[in-house]
Amino acid sequence: MSTTASDDFGQDVFVDGADWEVVEDAVGESTITVNMGPQHPSTHGVLRLVLELEGEIVRNVKPVIGYLHTGIEKNAEYRTWVQGTTFVTRMDYLSPFYNEVAYCLAVEKLLDIEAPERAQAIRVILMEFNRIASHLVWLATGGMELGAIGMMIYGFREREHILDLFESQTGLRMNHAWIRPGGLANDVTEDFVERCEHLLRLIPEKMREYEDLLLDNPIWRGRLTDVGVLTADDAVRMGVTGPLLRAAGVPYDLRKAQPYCGYEQYEFDVQTQDAGDSFARFLVRLEEMRQSMRIIRQALDLLPGGPVMVADKRIAWPAQQSLGPDGLGNDPEYIRHIMGESMEALINHFKLVTQGFTVPAGQVYVPVESPRGELGYAVTSNGTNKPYRIHVRDPSFVNLQATNLMSKDRMVSDLIAVVASIDPVMGGVDR
């Protein structure tokens, strides 16, 4: 049995680290071991980095994770398929729509159904706005960590406008659980297109401000250029995806490679840079926001009419209702139908809401291109009304492994830039 593989990558590529170090080990010959995090303003939540320092030089970094572990994968096994959306949306909390869409695409693949065109287009629009919002948070927090405090205020300010759009459509700023297996929870409001147009006018204007602020800023450039270089080969070997991979010169984007939700209809460019450093990642993300707006523009122009939920009443959660002034979903027509006309419809409604639908047995893997890279849902069903197992391949979780490779033998301050440029979201890392 060939258990050991012989390829020699050197020790740098491996990260290790248990929760506790023995105290005697903390001081070495010339190095000291220092804890950075889990509570630290520049670790994006509760990431803990155990650093081996020689003076100001980082000799080794061990990311220690699990401080935000919430057992979502386990919990979802005890809920119905529709309730699953409520859970998965809370994983990577900066890109909730991607979690929902990937999960719903996986369930739809198992069910062998496809959401209506209108639902797909709205998913794309919201996902791309979500990408902009997520990159804005990255710009904001990354800027703050590197000393551009003003950027934090601006990034969050514009993000709030996007979250206003989400709130107006889904009722929630984040963790929407609005995308459901088979389509959407309800149709968009009448002013949806107008609100999107407003954002499409607002964001490019503000993006010029960010560029004025950062692009030629010598401090910003100095902190990022040649910091955290990751070559394409290393990135692929480490499983790194998303802007990090594209900044290393690999034009791989799942929206192009394996289109879903109708991405093949939209024209956009996959952004790449050759340098593979933190500044290249900044440029890639900045340009990705522009491409997102291009996609939204086309999706708005093409926005088809029709239903937003599949017609099959065995699966379709009532999606005709609209949000009333009382904050609840109302549909007098539907209520009249189930309460006054059809006993069968009432039974179906009752069973759908209490038991949910069952999903044929099998296993699927559905990846989508989230703002951080490949977000994959490996969903296993055993043919009941609850998922048998949901495994999530979260891009932050995998990308974090490259921290040591990128920050070894650099200054501590460079480590901050490296972690910022990975853009890990701990809700996704720990799940």
Partner 1 sequence: MSGISVGHDPLTHERIEQLVQARFPDVAADITFGELTLFASAEDLIDLLRFCRDDDELACEALADVGGVHFPAGEHVIERQTSTTGWPAHRVSRDIGVVEVNYVLRSLSRNHWFRVACATSDDGGTLPTVTGLWPGANFPEREIFDMFGVVFEGHPDMTRILMPDDWLGHPLRKDYPLGGVDTNYKHGKFIPPPHQRDLREVIGDTPAATRHLPLLPGDADSETGGDQ
Q: Within positions 14 to 33, which residues make up the interface with partner 1, using CB under 8 A?
A: 14-20
Interaction residues for partner 1, span 331-350 (CB under 8 A): 348
Work out how close the CB of 389 gets to partner 1 at its nearest, in angstroms, rounded to a whole number.
5
Q: Which is nearer to partner 1, 75 or 413 (CB)?
A: 75
- Among the listed ranges 71-79, 122-130, 176-184, 277-285, the one in contact with partner 1 (CB under 8 A) is 71-79
Q: Which of 117, 374, 414, 423 binds partner 1 (CB under 8 A)?
A: 374
86 part of the interface to partner 1, by CB under 8 A: no
Interaction residues for partner 1, span 399-428 (CB under 8 A): 400-401
Q: Which is nearer to partner 1, 82 or 144 (CB)?
A: 82
Work out how close the CB of 423 gets to partner 1 at its nearest, in angstroms, rounded to a whole number.
17
Q: How far is CA 119 from the centre of its chain?
A: 20
264 part of the interface to partner 1, by CB under 8 A: no
- Among the listed ranges 33-41, 154-162, 176-184, 354-362, the one in contact with partner 1 (CB under 8 A) is 354-362
Give the separation between CA 123 and CA 194, rounded to whole angstroms: 17
259 part of the interface to partner 1, by CB under 8 A: no
- Identify the three-state secondary structure at position 247: helix
- Identify the three-state secondary structure at position 363: strand
Where are the alpha helices (H) located in 146-277, listed in sequence order?
Answer: 149-170, 192-214, 218-224, 232-237, 243-247, 254-257
Interaction residues for partner 1, span 268-287 (CB under 8 A): 274
Q: Which is nearer to partner 1, 299 or 359 (CB)?
A: 359
Q: What single string gives the DSSP state of each residue in 14-50?
A: -----S---GGGGB-SS-EEEEE-SS-TTSTTT-EEE
Q: C-alpha distances in angstroms, 316 versus 309, 345, 384? A: 6, 12, 17
Interaction residues for partner 1, span 93-122 (CB under 8 A): 109-110, 112
Q: In what order do the strands lie in the sheet with 362-370?
A: 362-370, 373-381, 389-393
Q: Compute, in degrees rounded to 10, the torsion defined by CA atoms 193, 195, 200, 206.
A: 180
232 part of the interface to partner 1, by CB under 8 A: yes
